[in-house]
């Protein structure tokens, strides 16, 4: 299909001393989120619906941006969503 996919690289295994790893392969939402968080509204494609100005979701105090909202898109769009969300989160925390 021309899409990139992870491929094994011989002798590339190594150990990292870390507290947590977040694996993000692909750009679709995890269906478990819809099943376990009924307060969140989703599009017909499974993306989280947000207020475009604040990135606030339908669940109070929860904000979202990036591929979980737009589907596969650019890093620039995700960064812009992060900036909007950061401003709105700061306002939310200041007022609450």
Q: What contacts 60, CB < 8 A, 6 or more positions away?
A: none
pLDDT value at 20 more than 80? no
Average pLDDT over residues 17-46: 82
Record the pTM. 0.68
Enumerate the domain spans of the chain. 1-96
Q: Are 61 and 92 in contact (CB under 8 A)?
A: yes
pLDDT of residue 31: 82
Would you place residue 51 in the very low, low, confident or very high pLDDT band (cuts 50, 70, 90)? very high
Cα(31)–Cα(35) distance, integer angstroms: 7
Cα(44)–Cα(88) distance, integer angstroms: 26
Q: What contacts 28, CB < 8 A, 6 or more positions away?
A: 46, 67, 71
pLDDT of residue 30: 78
Determine the topology of domain 1-96 in CATH: FAD/NAD(P)-binding domain (3.50.50)
């Amino acid at each position: 299909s021309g899409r990139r996919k992870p491929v094994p690289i011989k002798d590339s295994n190594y150990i990292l001393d870390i507290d947590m790893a977040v694996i993000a392969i692909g750009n679709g939402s995890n269906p478990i989120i819809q099943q376990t968080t009924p307060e969140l509204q989703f599009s017909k494609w499974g993306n989280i619906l947000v207020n475009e100005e604040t990135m606030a979701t339908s669940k109070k105090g929860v904000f979202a941006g990036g591929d979980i909202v737009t589907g596969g898109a650019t890093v620039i769009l995700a960064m812009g969503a992060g900036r909007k969300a950061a401003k709105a989160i700061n306002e939310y925390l200041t007022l609450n």
